[in-house]
Amino acid sequence: MGNVVDEQREVKRSRYAVAAVFAVHGAVTGSFATRVPWIQDHAGVSAGQLGIALAFPALGASLAMPLAGSVSHRFGARNALRGLIALWTLSLVLPSLAPNLLTLCLALFVYGATAGMADVAMNALGVEVENRLDRSIMSGLHGMWSAGALVGSAAGTLAAHLGSDARLHHVLAAAVLTVVGVLSCQWVLDLQPAEDEEPPPRFALPPRSALLIGAIGFCAVFAEGASLDWSAVYLREQLETSAGLAAACTTGFTLTMAVARIAGDRVVDRFGAVRTVRASGVFAVLGGLLIVLAEHPAMAMTGFALMGLGIAVVVPLCFAAAGRSGSNPSLAIAGVATITYTSGLIAPSAIGMLAQATSLMVSFCLVTLLSGGLVAFARVLRPGDRVKISRPDAAVPDPRP
């Protein structure tokens, strides 16, 4: 009986520890995003050159994420996450030190590579905890990421308002977040490979199951990237609103996503992943229609809020489905993460190019069309068995009362 209680406590403690790591990961992203103008000025790059440099984080992440599985296999899940989250938090300092375009691109490549590997490691552990609890937690974990990003953004906004040097700001932020991240990893599950388990390849293409799941994630992240980067522009240019109201639209979209993710696990547990994503797709399509048909700012802002509500839980459910899709969860999660990162990379530029050739309204017609893919292909996320990544012979009962 004592062993059962101890294992229940270990799983619950790991859930909160992984949630803290998700928040730390988000806080790094928020801390960086708010200081991009300072970094641009310090590196002396133009807007076009900055656009080139900002493609390097996604490039670094896409190339490095398939390596995360072999790192976890070699060092164990806990040590791997501890090392990768520390590398990620410390890499926050690099972009602000870059004096020119070349060094900025290199810094952002490292920044993205460490972000991607830490992302795969923490999602793999999150899926393992979800499987042991036998209830949905991935949406809430991603909600913690959004909350961390909001906190990091708020701190970065304050630092920018005070005119602080981003190098000092990021050194202090990196120090605090590294300590929090490393200490949090002390309580995550210490998963170790079985003695007869073959090490995963250092680099491999994602399995077919990950491609199908990743396609749904691609649609959701495309809509997210388009809305984050272009919602304010849409209100300002299409509906001629003030800059303040346009910025409020983006903030509202972000808050809607964060709240929906934190509350999403209860919905998933009640209705299941497939029905949840289908309903989410309906909300996203409705939001897209309001956006493209809007003649008043309130209508467009409602549309973006519905878009955020509709896509919020999709990516967490994609990671959860990937973790149950085959014999190598880390490889499947890395494949889904690579596809979603790629979507986030191409969405803003694709929206911009299409808008230049036609109009922003036409661009968001594409977003609405892709949102319909959530409804059409939600069945790919049908629930599978919640099997544990390691120690499959250990009987861990449901810790719920």
Residue 188 binned pLDDT confidence (cut-offs 50, 70, 90): very high
Superfamily of the domain at 1-191: MFS general substrate transporter like domains (1.20.1250.20)
Among 147, 340, 151, which Cα is nearest to 255's?
A: 147
pLDDT in tens, 59-102: 898 889 888 888 887 888 899 999 999 999 999 999 999 999 99
Domain locations in the chain as residue ranges = 1-191, 205-385
Query: What confidence score (pLDDT) does residue 314 get?
Result: 96
pLDDT in tens, 151-186: 888 888 888 888 899 999 999 999 999 999 999 999
What does each C-alpha distance from 355 to 50, 54, 302, 312 come to in angstroms? 20, 20, 22, 25
Q: What is the CATH number of domain 205-385?
A: 1.20.1250.20
- What burial letters (b/e) apply to 363-383, b meaning 16+ CB within 10 Å? bbbbbbebbebbbebbebbee
The answer to whether 284 touches 278, Cβ cutoff 8 Å, is no
Average pLDDT, the chain: 86
A 10 A CB-CB count for 395 gives 8
Residue 140 pLDDT > 90: yes
What does each C-alpha distance from 115 to 64, 90, 164, 237 come to in angstroms? 9, 11, 25, 34
Of residues 277 and 389, the one with the higher pLDDT is 277
Spatial separation of the C-alpha atoms in residues 80 and 82, rounded to whole Å:
5
Query: What confidence score (pLDDT) does residue 397 get?
Result: 33
The answer to whether 123 touches 319, Cβ cutoff 8 Å, is yes
Residue 218 binned pLDDT confidence (cut-offs 50, 70, 90): very high
Residue 388 pLDDT > 70: no
